[in-house]
Structure 1
Amino acid sequence: MSFNNEYVIFVGINNNNIISNIKLNSHSQNRSIDHRSKIDADQNRSLRSHESGSVLIAVFWLMAAMGITIFSSMVVLRSDLRVVDSEKSSFRALQLAEMGVAIAAQRGIEEYDNILKQFPVNDIAFAEFEDYFEFAPDEGFRVEIKKEAGRINPNHYLLRPTPESLNAMADVFQSWGIELSEAQEIVNCLLDWVDADEVTSAAPDGAEAEWYEANVGSLNYPFNRAFYDVKEMQFVKGMDVVAAYKPNWRNYFTVRSQGPLDINDADANLIAVAAGLEEMSEIGGSEFSENVDEIEDFLNGESESGSYGRNGPDGVKDTVDDTPIDVNLLIDELIRLGAPSPEQLTDRFTSSGNTLRIISTGIKGEYQRKLEVVLRNRGTNPSIISREEIFGK
């Protein structure tokens, strides 16, 4: 019995240990489960927090991208609006320039008429001019009318090559200091450029296609037609000599007038050149000769004797009191100074050229557009010789 009791006690003890172990194991398992649950919960919270942070960063980036896009769009839109506004203002300035040309082309409009000076009303410097149109405060135009016959037309002499005409061209070059023989050679080259044949004028002085092909390498020279532009003259044989004596020779010529030099518009030195009188006191110098000074005095008149000259009593060109000078009176003065005979000079000058150069500038705010139109026979049967827009002047 004692054995059995010990056994029972032992068994009981073992059972208690087992139960205790079971309880301990169960408690440990519960604690482990709770710990894992906490870990899982912490991980879930960390994951959710990380996801929330990523979403927030993405939102910030999206907002930044949208802000940059909107800002860029506004900048582009603002730039486009400025371009559109600039184009509108520039086009309006061109319209005003066209308006100025249309007004100046009307018969009876003179260089001194105030209607040609419609400055913006917000320009205080020109407040004294009368307003003829209802423009915006920053709109207006100004127009200059110049006589194109104030310069020498080479076509006038070369297209009808009489001895007097060719002598007139040679006199121009002689007035700059070029010797007579060399001046005549240059004139012959100019004549070969405009005539229609292939025969060299006054060979070997002239120059036809064979000379240009051999010396210039061009198969297109000469043009065998009238000069369309003064710049074409530089390609003619011998004009390099002219440029050496007179670098600014282009300022003395035009191809748009009808011929003779207008004595009431041309400068005194141009009149001297057309008459074959020495222009400068010395070749290549900067001072005009005494001939030019005396022609200038003649054109200005003598106020003491009541002769006010072509600019009238106020002495200002292109004003209402201008008084045209008679050609014959000028020819007498040129003969006194040593010019050729009256018969040779008569065809070189006129007292009223009928070809006008109209320079119209349209103004719109800070924008300006300038047009230059050459008009012939304004009073009777007007015709436009050329029209171009001038940039950078």
Structure 2
Amino acid sequence: MRLHSTINHYRRGSALIAVFWMIAVMGMVVLAGAKALHADTKATRELRGRTFAKRLAQMGLEVARHPAIQMDDGLLHYTTPEGGGYDVKLTTEEARLNINVLVGSGDKVLLPRLFGAWGLKPEQSTALIDALRDWIDEDDKLSMKGAEKRDYQKAGFEGLPYNKPFREVEEMLMVRGMNQVNELRPDWREWFTVMGDGRVDVNEARAELIALIANVPVERVTPLLTLRAGKDGALHTRDDNRLTSPMQVAQLLGVYQPQTVEMLTRIIQFAGPIKRLESTGHFGDIRRRLVLIVQNQQAIWRGELPIHGTKS
């Protein structure tokens, strides 16, 4: 009898342990399921946000394309009751450096200056510029520190370089050495274009680019920016002032060396004819930027560019 009681006790204890074990396992399953559901919900929210942000950016582009829209038009900014919206910026494509013109002309000033300011060592800058030159020239002759077909094949890339001018800025990333630039300056795409005649529109160019061209500290560009923005201090409004001559630009920058003034005369313009529409759609904390480039009312390029420092 005592033995039978002990056996029953043991069985009840084993059953209790089994129950606790099953509860623990079920708890782990429920916890894992909850985490999966949370992750799935988060992924769904993010997908939804990306979709709506892009749609809103597209909406902004379509509004901005209308020929009656001005740079300070209120229709370029829109917010939805759900927390989404778009903001459109109208500028010119010539507010950037034309990489094809610079490399093709054998530039030995602006690109070394730019890459040096971004942190490349002189030998790295020279090698990259030579590789850029080898990419766009029509022959297979290797520049001193450049890269031709054999060099790309050794790295596992067939059919490179293309030996013709860049068709779009993103193509530059395929050139040997551009990975260093991409790491140092993830926003490098903002500085280049493959369109236009190579002259930079100083009425639209960023302060850092103007300083680079004139070889002055960026602080020296402040008087030019102040004049350009007008009384309200905001660019792209109706009281903006237009720069009109290289001498005016030189005086505002405080540069009087003949060679610098000559360079400004050669490399700047005051009204680029190629329009650039940048529409940033946002939904929650997600942002997406679409760009449309227009010449003579005809779209010549459309695409999406990353927004650095934000979720996109």
Contact 2:220 2:253 in 1 (8 A): no
- Show the counterpart of 2:209: 270
Name which of 186, 204, 208 aligns with 2:148.
Answer: 208
- Show the counterpart of 1:173: 115
Where 1:299 maps in the other structure, the secondary structure is: helix
Show structure 2 runs of 5+ residues with no match: 1-43
- Show the counterpart of 2:278: 358
- Show the counterpart of 1:110: 70
CA distance in structure 2 between the partners assigned to 1:219 and 1:140 by the alignment: 43
Q: TM-score, normalised by structure 2?
A: 0.66
Name which of 94, 98, 101 aligns with 1:153.
Answer: 98
CA distance in structure 1 between the partners assigned to 2:54 and 2:146 by the alignment: 46
Q: Which moved more, 1:92-101 or 1:347-356?
A: 92-101
CA distance in structure 1 between the partners assigned to 2:189 and 2:256 by the alignment: 24
- Show the counterpart of 1:48: none
Where 1:310 maps in the other structure, the secondary structure is: helix
Counterpart AA for 1:356 = R
Counterpart AA for 1:250 = W
Q: Cα 1:386–1:252, aligned 2, differ >3 Å: closer, same or farther?
A: closer
Where 2:279 maps in the other structure, the secondary structure is: strand
1:236 aligns with 2:175: yes
Choose between structure 1 and 2: higher strand proportion: 2
Where 2:277 maps in the other structure, the secondary structure is: strand
Q: TM-score, normalised by structure 1?
A: 0.54
- Show the counterpart of 1:199: 141
Equivalences for residues 182-331 of structure 1 within 5 A: 183-201=125-143, 204-214=144-154, 216-239=155-178, 246-248=184-186, 250-258=188-196, 259-275=198-214, 277=215, 291-300=217-226, 309-328=227-246, 329-331=248-250
1:348 aligns with 2:267: yes
CA distance in structure 2 between the partners assigned to 1:97 and 1:149 by the alignment: 22
Per-residue displacement from partner, 1:263-321 (whole Å, max 9, x unpaired)? Answer: 1222211212234x26xxxxxxxxxxxx2101123321xxxxxxxx0000011122221
Show structure 1 runs of 5+ residues with no match: 1-82, 124-137, 279-290, 301-308
Per-residue displacement from partner, 1:153-206 (whole Å, max 9, x unpaired)? Answer: 312322xx234x4544334334557676764443222111112211123xx233
Counterpart AA for 2:115 = F
What is the CA-CA distance between 1:359 and the residue it aligns to? 0.5
Q: Cα 1:269–1:340, aligned 2, differ >3 Å: closer, same or farther?
A: farther
Contact 1:156 1:260 in 2 (8 A): no
CA distance in structure 2 between the partners assigned to 1:236 and 1:198 by the alignment: 15
More contact order relative to length (CA 8 Å, sep ≥ 6): 2
Name which of 379, 385, 390 aligns with 2:301.
Answer: 385
Where 1:376 maps in the other structure, the secondary structure is: strand
Q: Cα 1:140–1:226, aligned 2, differ >3 Å: closer, same or farther?
A: same
Report percent identity of matched pairs. Answer: 25
Equivalences for residues 70-149 of structure 1 within 5 A: 97-120=57-80, 122=81, 142-149=87-94
The structure with more radius of gyration: 1
CA distance in structure 2 between the partners assigned to 1:239 and 1:387 by the alignment: 21
Counterpart AA for 2:94 = A
CA distance in structure 2 between the partners assigned to 1:338 and 1:237 by the alignment: 36
Counterpart AA for 1:382 = Q
Contact 2:90 2:275 in 1 (8 A): no
Contact 2:181 2:188 in 1 (8 A): no
Where 1:169 maps in the other structure, the secondary structure is: helix
CA distance in structure 2 between the partners assigned to 1:155 and 1:346 by the alignment: 20
Counterpart AA for 1:173 = F
What is the CA-CA distance between 1:240 and the residue it aligns to? 5.7
CA distance in structure 1 between the partners assigned to 2:87 and 2:297 by the alignment: 25
Counterpart AA for 2:157 = S
- Show the counterpart of 1:54: none
CA distance in structure 1 between the partners assigned to 2:113 and 2:286 by the alignment: 42
What RMSD, in angstroms, separates the aligned Cα atoms of the two structures? 3.9
Q: Cα 1:386–1:347, aligned 2, differ >3 Å: closer, same or farther?
A: farther
CA distance in structure 1 between the partners assigned to 2:242 and 2:141 by the alignment: 44
Where 2:281 maps in the other structure, the secondary structure is: strand
Q: Which moved more, 1:102-111 or 1:181-190?
A: 181-190
Contact 1:148 1:256 in 2 (8 A): no
